[in-house]
Amino acid sequence: MKLLEIIDLHVAVEGKEILRGVNLVVNSGEITALMGPNGSGKSTLAYVLMGHPKYIVTKGRILVKGQDIKSLSPDERAKLGMFLSFQYPMEITGVTLSSFLRTALNELSENKISVPEFDKLIKGKMQDLGMNTGFANRYLNEGFSGGEKKRAEILQMSILKPELAILDETDSGLDIDALKAVAEGINAYLKLNPAAGALVITHYQRLLDYLKPNSVCVMVSGKIVKQGGSELVAELEKKGYDWLGKKIELKKA
């Protein structure tokens, strides 16, 4: 089943077109990887999907479970089952990680979870991700290392249980141990939630060595210029993105 279907999507920021006709699908039970060089529009796509008001859709459709979501607010998209893991997670002073997540979970659930029940839940999930459980009582992301912030993002995903997870450069700045922990968290989440799907945005092969995407899309200059299976990741690692840019120029010529 198609969880996410993007059809001929054009997006502008302050009058400048960034996305130029993107077509992309994320299926239930699968990982779709989105790769591309810096400035290609990958993070723009992530923000557009979650409804950031800075980004204006000028043409095209975004369907989640068959529903066009362009008119939905970010919180309505979250309640529909969408989740975004940020490349640079924000620090929020005065709000503990535990309080933030319990409030978010209760907003999404009809049956509210008590403080003792949630305390047991979050500590179990944190142990699975190799996180110090003391971080549950610290202010959200404040004083966290880069790896701890990324683990906290995956912790949020595992607790909120979205159907569609959008992971924007979750591997950015991670050492090998943190990378493995984050990848294991993503794999465990998808295994426990077989109807869910993920759009994984990354520059590099290393995260995808652990995640094994079902399909790979490459974005250059706001367009998907190549699609394939996991073998495309190795080809990009060997040839780089300039190889695709040259192929595009040859086609234009």
Low-confidence ranges of the chain (pLDDT < 50): 248-253
Judge whether 148 lies within some domain: no
- The CATH number that applies at residue 48 is 3.40.50.300
Q: Is 120 part of a structural domain of the chain? A: no
Report yes or no on 157 lying in a domain: no
Whether 181 is covered by a domain: the verdict is yes
- pTM for the predicted model, two decimal places: 0.90
pLDDT tens, position by position, 25-34: 999 999 999 9
Per-residue pLDDT of 42-94, as tens digits, reads: 999 999 999 999 999 999 999 999 999 999 999 999 999 999 998 888 899 99
Order the strands of the 67-68 sheet from edge to edge: 16-27, 2-13, 56-64, 67-68
Q: Which residue range(s) make up the domain with 231?
A: 2-89+162-252
Residue 249 confidence (pLDDT): 43
- pLDDT of amino acid 23: 97
* Residue 193 domain-assigned (yes or no): yes
Domain assignment of residue 214, yes or no: yes
Q: Domain count for the chain, please give it.
A: 1
Q: What is the pLDDT of residue 251?
A: 43
Average predicted confidence (pLDDT) for the chain = 90
Q: Are 71 and 253 in contact (CB under 8 A)?
A: no
Check if the beta carbon of residue 11 is closer than 8 Å to that of residue 55: yes
Is 100 contained in some domain?
Answer: no
Task: Give the gyration radius of the chain's Cα atoms.
Answer: 18
